Amino acid sequence: MSCPYSSNYREMEDSIKTDFKDDMSYADYLNLEQILSAQQPQSDQHDEMLFIVIHQASELWLKLAGHEITAAVTMLKNAEFGPAFKVISRVKQIFIQLTQSWNILSTLTPVDYLKFRDSLGHSSGFQSHGYRKMEFLLGNKNQALIKVHESNSAAYDELTAISNAPSIYDEVIRIMAASGFDIDNSMLERDFNQPYQSNESVLNAWLEVYRNADKHFELYELAEKLMDIEDAFQQWRFKHMYTVQRVIGNKMGTGGSSGVAFLKKALDISFFPELLELRTKL
């Protein structure tokens, strides 16, 4: 017998499993009890839940982005360009997702944020291990920034190891050298703890790639994939800065930074400076 409300009703199918006493459920697989109980507001203000969920979700996306970039480095070392392109494209989409999250947070008004801001103490996104890991993997190294993680030995050790290792861009430059491009030796065995600085030999190599894109198509495509990440990352940085400005103006950050002024400085940092410079030279 059909349901009288069949146009607005979906019957349970007999084949759908409902007994999970001895089997893994969706909640078990995702550890949802642990995840969904991790929101612990420090005040009684309604909007603090929004603030917590946005930042926790962002940390999960950053964890995935770090996972993907780490995999991409290994793939590039093994000359697996196709799989590397796939995961790099995924990272771009992750940053687009992260950028969208600021639109949700911007519904938090200055008045409502000030009702619970003091509850944050000195906690700040500046202390995000996931964000710092991404910056280091992409090449924006700064050992001084690791100090904030000293109280978390696992995070501190991981960031120190990543700082000592070549970034994804360092690995790409090594690939270019192995492919026959004339790259200064100083760029291949440099101190990887130091922030990357633009180099003329690298710029000239990229100009050769772009001027002969058909001949060097994999490197050409790789360069554009890297620019996709830079583009998406910078949009995320800008939206972060502007959302902070919208909510707290020019107040100091909870972690002690100058706030918006400090965030604006990041907009001048390029992970892959030669890939921007070559556009002028072409």
* Per-residue pLDDT at 10: 86
Q: Which residues are annotated as a binding site for substrate?
A: 51-55, 113, 117, 254
Instruction: Return the axis-axis angle of helices 48-77 and 168-178, rounded to nearest 10°.
Output: 20
* Per-residue pLDDT at 2: 57
Q: Which residues are annotated as a binding site?
A: 51-55, 113, 117, 240, 254
* Per-residue pLDDT at 9: 86
* Per-residue pLDDT at 6: 61
**CATH code of the domain occupying 46-281:** 1.20.58.480
Domain boundaries, the chain: 46-281
Q: Which residues are annotated as a binding site for heme?
A: 240
Q: pLDDT averaged over consecutive 10-residue blocks of the chain (282 residues)?
A: 67 90 94 97 97 97 97 95 96 96 95 95 93 95 92 95 96 96 95 93 98 97 97 95 93 91 91 97 94
* Per-residue pLDDT at 53: 97
CA 137 vs CA 23, 70, 71, 159: distances in Å: 39, 7, 11, 9
